[in-house]
Structure formats: C-alpha cells, structure tokens
Amino acid sequence: MDSKLRSLEEAAETVADGSTIAIGGLSMNAAPMAFVRALARRKVKDLTLVAIVHGMPIEWLVAAGCVRTVVSGLVSLEGFGLAPRFRAAVQAGQVEIEEYSEHTLICRLQAAAYRIPYMPTKAGLGTDMLALHPDTTREQHDALSGEPYVACTPLPVDVAIVHAEAADTRGNVRVDPKLVWMDSELVKAAARTIVTVERIVPEASFRAEPHRTTYPRFTVDTVVEAPWGAYPTSCFPRYGYDGDFFREYVAAHTDPAAAQAFWDDRIAGPETHAAFLDANGGPRTLLSIARRTT
C-alpha cells in the first residue's frame, strides 16, 4: 500500500510554476502556513492564488515573489492592520488582484466541484463587482420568472492546500472538532489536494470513528505531518493565533530594513519548520497560544 506521506519540501516540489492553488482556512484561522512557507522558500513562480478571505499566507507568497494573481474577497490582517506587502505590490502593479465577493467565489468553486456550467446566486447584484469579470460572474434573468441572478462559472483549481487535525498515511483526514470554514469546497474543486496535519494517526483510528472523517482518502493526494502547522494563524481548538507575531510583523513594515530583517530571521530564513517555530519563540510562544481543551 503506497504511503501518501511526504515532507513539507517534497510536497512543495509538486506545485508547478504557473499553477492555480487554493489556500484553506480563513483570515486568522487554520491556514496551512508551514506549507506556505515551504512554497515561499522554494520560490515557485507565477502562481494564481485563490484565498477567499486571508492575510498572512498572501503576504508571504507575495513577499517571496511567487504570485502573479490573487483571487480573493478580502485581504487584510484584520484588527492588526492592512496587509502591507500585498497592498504595496498591487499599488506598484507587481501583483494583480482579481476581486470577487466571498460568495460568488464560493459559487465558482462549487460550480467547478459539481462540473456544472454555473452556480446561481443573488450575491453581487447592483454592485460593481460583476463588471470586474463579466465572463465569470454574469447577471442573467431566470427564463420563467424573469428574476435577476448572477451565474458564477467554474473556477478550476490545480492544487488545494488545507490544514487539519489528523490524517493516516493513506490520505484519510479528520478536521477536529468540525469543519467550519470553506476548505471542503476547495478540496472538491481542486484536481489535487495536499493536506498538512497536526499529527499522523493509524488508519484504525478512522475505522473506529468513521463519523468523524472529513475527507476520504480518494480525495487527498498528499499528506504532510506539520505540528503547529497553522502557526502563526490558529488551529481551533488546539491553539489560537499568535497576536505578537501579527503585531510585530505589522510594526516591522513601517521600515524597509526592519521588514527585510523580519522576513529573513522569522519567516523565510529558518531551514526547517522546527527552526521556524524556534525563531518565533519556540515552546514559550507555543505554550502561550495553546488553548485548554477539556
């Protein structure tokens, strides 16, 4: 039986230049950051990055020069501030932003997942969003009732990358306690899926509690063990986001030299995932963000 288990670096090697990749999680939550870091270090080029609502993963891939186009509904670091690298790159014309409203983007992924010509929604009517990309979000009228709606065409994704609690080496994946974000839609839309997990468990663990399985093995191509793999975003209910990281990241970007030092020392420089965690405070930081699970 072939194992789907790979290292972060091996998995990152499988993402080709020019691919369309979709990043799971949302905003401060459950982004596959260890994998994003591996991609940034590999300096993959010309990615189209689908990130429904995100901040830090877009920042890192833009900073590393990996991205040609960002497809997203909202890019920010929330209460910590705007996304500095992303904003500068878009304003300088280095990166293109293809903005969709959140739901029309989800509808496009669902149309791709179900292999149907379009998904209908009322979302976006009367706004300027539809005119940004009339080929993919079209205002139409229902043939019988005449009611206006928006037809969202399929958005094909080459690789979906999501972070989860546990997997076995065959590719069964468990999101624990429960999937809350849009990751399932990315996995269904994508030709290939890479999952990073907090821990590898035996297949027997899935057979013992099949009702807790989130993605079956035939939908998952590659599994990577990456404990604390969502850091500095959160992995509910194991750990929260690291507020200090976000604060210090934003503060460093008021000065180009400080931003470069932050990038080298705390993001791109460390050779391994463990070294990266150490560069950001190691066990002391991790214990401070660990959530009590009772």
Partner 1 sequence: MSERYTIDELMVTTLAREFTNDTRAFNGAVSFVPVCAYLLARRTHAPDLVWAASSIAIDADPKSIPESTLSDGLWDGASMLANSAYDFWAYAQNRRYNTFAFRGAQMDACGNVNNTVIGPYESPKVRLPGGGGMADLSCMIPLIYLWSTTHDPRTFVERLDFRSGIGWGDGGDHRERLGLPGGPQLCVTNLCVFEFHPDTKRMQIRSLHPGVTAEQVIESTGFALPASDGDVPVTGEPTDEELRILREEVDPTGARLREFR
41 with 16: CB under 8 angstroms? Answer: no
Work out whether 71 is an interface residue with partner 1 (CB under 8 A).
no
Work out whether 62 is an interface residue with partner 1 (CB under 8 A).
no
Binding segment for partner 1 (CB under 8 A), chosen from 191-199, 216-224, 237-245, 270-278, is: 237-245
Which residue in this structure is represented by tokens 């739901």? 103
Work out whether 185 is an interface residue with partner 1 (CB under 8 A).
yes
139 CB-near residues (< 8 Å, 6+ apart): 125, 130, 148, 149, 150, 151
Choice from 180, 258, 261, 274 touching partner 1 (CB under 8 A): 180
Q: For residue 55, count CB atoms less than 10 angstroms from its CB and return exposed for 0-12, middle for 13-18, buried for 19 or more.
A: buried
Instruction: Kindly state the smallest distance separating residue 198's Cβ from partner 1, in Å.
Output: 15
Maximum pairwise Cα distance, the chain:
63
Instruction: Kindly state the smallest distance separating residue 146's Cβ from partner 1, in Å.
Output: 9
162 with 22: CB under 8 angstroms? Answer: no
| Binding-residue pattern over the window 214 to 233 for partner 1, x denoting contact by CB under 8 A | --------------------
Work out whether 147 is an interface residue with partner 1 (CB under 8 A).
yes
How far is Cα 131 from Cα 149, in angstroms, rounded to an integer?
14
94 with 70: CB under 8 angstroms? Answer: no
CB nearer partner 1, residue 103 or residue 170: 103
How far is Cα 109 from Cα 125, in angstroms, rounded to an integer?
19
Choice from 42, 45, 68, 103 touching partner 1 (CB under 8 A): 103
Choice from 19, 104, 193, 196 touching partner 1 (CB under 8 A): 104
Helix (H, G, I), strand (E, B) or coil at 184: helix
Work out whether 120 is an interface residue with partner 1 (CB under 8 A).
no
Interacting residues with partner 1 (CB under 8 A): 26-29, 53, 72-76, 78-80, 82-83, 86-87, 90-91, 93, 97, 99, 101-104, 106, 121-129, 132, 147-148, 177-182, 184-185, 234, 236-237, 240-241, 243, 246
